Amino acid sequence: MSSIGLQTGLKALLSAQAALDTIGHNVANANTPGYSRQRLEVSSSPTLMIRGLNIGAGVNPDVVTRTTNALLQARMVRQIGSLNRLEAALGGMSEIEALLGEPGGFGLGGGMNEFFGAVSELSTSTEDLVKRSGLVQKATALTTRFNQLASTMSSLRLDTANQVGIQVKQVNALSDQLVILNLEIAQTEATGVPANDLRDQRDEKLRVLSGYVDIDFHEDGNGVIRVTAGGRLLVGANRAFEMSSITSEDGSVELFLEGSKVPPVLKSGAIAGLTHVGQKFTPELMKDFDALAGNLIFEMNRLHSTGTPSAGFFSTLTSAYAFQDSDNDGQIEDELISNSQLPFDVQEGRLNVNVTRQTTGELKQHQINIDPASTSVGDFLASLNEIEGINANLNSFGRLQVFADAAFGFDFAAKLDPRPDKSGTMGGGHASLGTGSEGPYALADGHSLDLTGPVSSFSVAFSAADFVEISSATAEEVALVLNANADVQANGLRAVTVDGRVYIQTAATGASADFQVSGGSSIGAFEWTAGMTVTGHDFGVEVEITGDYIGESNGSFTFIPRGDGMVGTTPGLEVDVFSSSGQLVATLDVGDSYQPGTALEVDAGIEVSFGYGDLSATHNDSFRAEVIADSDTSDVLAAIGLNAMFTGTGAEDIAIREDLDTNPERLAAGVTGAVGDNQALLAILDLQTAGVAGLGGESLGDFYGDVVSDVGFEISTASTARDIEEFLLQNLEQRREQISGVSIDEELVEMIRFEQSFAAASRYIQVLNDLSADILSLI
């Protein structure tokens, strides 16, 4: 009995000692991250049958367990990943928000306002060199802000990629540690002993790892866990699979996992937050700023390219952008404009080219039709070189160069030609006869036109070979045939075309200049009658167009007298004005109540005046005045950067044109070159609030405001989500602390309890010893 009792007491002592050791271990690790409270599990020893009685044999210390909740651990792992993703993303996004400098006037918004403010200032005094320099300085400051923004965001993207690389190394280090812990746990638990502390360490590593990447994990029957990251195996039973990152020159990052050809898709963890900033948030923001800068460049250049400098015209210009040899055949001129890799698109449309003879101020307007899908670079050059007074070529870089001949100047402005009746077909001094209507004309092979000139009578024959389709002969084709005829030349006659009509005129002017239509089979098509005699005038009617055209589209006005008579003398003499669509827009009284030279209102801001002289409806007098709202509907000038204000294509390379920086007088303030002309500046000023097609119809300022607002909204949304995720994690940590954490107070209570148990067991053994001694003394 003494032996049994001593065994029972000894077990009690050892169990109490083990419990106290466990309590000490708990107290010692009360502040150890990831530590789970442990406790000793005990059970009563099997009873012994002695003298017919089941006598208890004491207590058995079975195992030391840790207090955990596997579901709570899994939820914490997911929650840590969600929180770290948001915190990492917020860190990068907040840096960009600070970079924008809004609100506060230090960002692009303030720069654009200052730029347009300088435009407004210059528009009030276009000749002021100080204000011109001020505009150039504000433009330079604006471009610098774009450049700095692009550069800093690119650097931030690279920094983010570097952070990803650093964190990938941390992931690999943690993965290796998990493999070691897996092996140690498996070896320990193979002996039947729970690896409590090792499991705590592994759980803590999993929580740390989840802060970097999106992980999932599963434990097998041997206590070994397998970890996947983004759906790809990261930690296996015996080894870790290395994660790697590759950073491209633009700062984009691609992740790889050893043994997998498919990149992991991370939805949580700091790396996911960083890649969101580097792969999505920053590139999209850079794309927006490139769009803003690109549209600013294009729209400003559209307006500036059709303006004029202080001199009113140019002597030479070189484009900012080059045509490219897309097919690499060594020839640029054979490239279609659409295939020449210009940074901006060219549309089907018309370019207006003005050439001014500097000695007389005479203006001649020329139109070049452009279809980028069929017009080659060489075609465009040829059209420019056909214009008297200028020549064009490509330099060695493929940039267009345009030069004015001596005593000439050129520009591309939407000017009014003040003297549009260049041929004198509206009461000019030449003897002039026009066709009754616009072409085409129903001629036939062999048709003739009989004329009597100052020298002789002769006949002009029309041959089908001279026409594309003689039955639909154009006015230009008829004029070419007439001007090529030797007799026409010998008699001092010529043919000109105006608004689709053919006019035969004498080269000489005055009352002595005349010719006669004698007959011929073609006169019916031209609506002439045999025997018509046409005489010139000593005083030709001087026609002048003035005003500012306010129409929204390009067009023309055709002026046709209603009767025959002298301007300012013949009662009831009137001139009808037709729009380019053929609509009658005005009828002007130029009869006896009209004072010659007085401006008469036509339409859309245009006025006309007529000097003394004779007008003739019988001889089909008329003239056409072109009115231009957009002198480059093809956008070819902006696409090649000819007379551009800005160069570059986006936020990174936008800059003011170099020669404007050194010579502000080349800034295009107006369209006429006249002192005080500010039409180009006013058009640029309107761009501040005008909708831009390339920005979805928003103005430059509104688009930028939306970008800044979107950044603020995304950051605010992420911040709110971060706060929620942080609150949820705190709740989970509190629950874990309640379940697995060490309470010093509770451990002290347990320590006292087991201390008492130890003391009681000791006293029990002492009693047994005393009893045994008493029994022995009786023998």
Mean pLDDT of all residues in 264-278: 92
- In angstroms, rounded to a whole number, what is the distance separating the alpha carbons of residues 513 and 738? 117
What domains does the chain contain, in order, with CATH numbers? 2-67+741-778 (no CATH), 73-107+154-283 (no CATH), 315-415+633-642 (2.60.40), 430-627 (no CATH)
> What are the CB-based long-range contacts (under 8 Å, 24+) for 486-489?
487/451, 487/453, 487/456, 487/458, 487/459, 487/460, 488/451, 488/453, 488/458, 488/460
- Using the predicted structure, report yes or no on whether residue 354 has a pLDDT greater than 60: yes
Pick from 637, 628, 706: nearest CA to 297: 637
**How far does the chain reach from its first CA to its final CA, in angstroms?**
17
> Which residues, at least 6 apart from 763, have a Cβ–Cβ distance to it below 8 Å?
none
475-487 per-residue burial string, b: 16 or more CB within 10 A, e: under 16: bebbbebbeebeb
Cα(779)–Cα(226) distance, integer angstroms: 69
Q: Which helix (H) or strand (E) holds 761?
A: helix 744-778
| Secondary structure tally for the chain: helices H, strands E | 16, 33
Return the percentage of the chain with pLDDT > 70, whole number.
99
DSSP, res 338: G
Q: What is the pLDDT of residue 192?
A: 87
Angle separating helix axes 129-189 and 108-123, nearest 10 degrees:
170
Confidence of residue 247 (pLDDT cuts 50, 70, 90): confident
Label residue 42 by pLDDT band (50, 70, 90): confident
- How far is the C-alpha of 107 from the C-alpha of 117, rounded, in Å? 15
How does pLDDT run across 336-351, given as a tens digit for each residue? 999 999 999 999 999 9
Q: Tell me the mean pLDDT in the region 657-661.
A: 91
- pLDDT of residue 207 exceeding 70: yes
Determine the pLDDT at residue 7: 82
Please answer whether residues 515 and 432 qualify as being in contact, where contact means their C-beta atoms are separated by less than 8 angstroms. Answer: no
SS (H, E, C) 448-484: EEEEECCCCEEEEECCHHHCCCHHHECHHHHHHHHHH
Q: Are the C-beta atoms of residues 681 and 670 closer than 8 Å to each other?
A: yes
> pLDDT at residue 205 above 60?
yes
How far apart are the C-alpha atoms of 147 and 651, rounded to whole Å? 6
Which among 86-100, 237-251, 511-525 has the top mean pLDDT?
Answer: 511-525
Q: Is the confidence at residue 228, as pLDDT, over 70? A: yes
- Is the CB of residue 562 less than 8 Å from the CB of residue 617? yes
User: For tokens 């689709």, what's the residue?
Assistant: 500
pLDDT of residue 11: 84
Render pLDDT for 552-575 as a digit per residue (tens, 0 to 9).
899 999 999 999 999 999 999 999
Which amino acid is it at 717? T
CA 444 to chain centre: 57
Q: Which residue has the higher pLDDT, 190 or 431?
A: 431
Query: CA-CA distance, 528 to 435, in Å (whole number)?
Result: 7
pLDDT of residue 105: 67
Comparing CA positions, the residue from 188, 246, 399, 507 lying closest to residue 202 is 188
Q: What is the mean pLDDT of residues 596-606?
A: 96
Q: Which of 587, 608, 423, 579 is nearest to 501 (CA)?
A: 423
Check: CB of residue 228 under 8 Å from CB of residue 135.
no
Distance of CA 404 to the CA centre of its chain: 36
For 230: left if phi > 0, alpha if psi spans -120 to 50, otherwise beta; the answer is left
Q: With contact defined as beta carbons under 8 Å apart, do 211 and 168 qualify?
A: no
Report the DSSP beta bridge partners of residue 66.
38
Contact 314, 663 (CB under 8 A): no
pLDDT (tens digit per residue) in 739-771: 988 888 888 888 899 889 888 888 888 888 888
Kindly tell me if the per-residue pLDDT of 2 is higher than 70.
Answer: no
Residue 464 has pLDDT above 50, yes or no: yes
- Rg (the chain; Cα; Å): 47
Closest among 450, 475, 451, 478 to 462, alpha carbons compared: 478
- In whole numbers, what is the pLDDT of the chain averaged over residues? 92
C-beta separation of 368 from 375 below 8 A? no
Mean pLDDT for the stretch of residues 107-126 = 93
Q: What is the pLDDT of residue 1?
A: 46
| 46 has a pLDDT exceeding 70 | yes
3-state secondary structure 639-674: HHCCCCCEECCCCCCCEECHHHHHCHHHCCCECCCC
Task: Find the farthest-apart pair of alpha carbons in the chain and give their distance in angstroms, rounded.
Answer: 178
Rounded CA-CA distance 73/200 in Å is: 11
Q: Token pair of 645, please?
A: 């204000």
Q: In 3D, which of 295, 281, 230 has the Cα closest to residue 251?
A: 281
Residue whose structure tokens are 């006025």: 607
Block residue for tokens 């590593």: 205
For residue 123, how many other CB atoms are within 10 A of its CB?
20
- CA 523 to chain CA centroid, nearest Å: 60
pLDDT of residue 446: 95
Is the model's pLDDT at 410 over the cut of 90?
yes
Q: Which residue, among 367, 416, 698, has the nearest Cα to 550 in the 3D structure?
A: 416
Mean pLDDT of the region 398-420: 95
Does residue 261 or residue 579 have the better pLDDT? Answer: 579
Alpha carbons 462 and 485: distance in angstroms, whole number: 10
Q: Any bridge partners for residue 555, and if so which?
A: 627
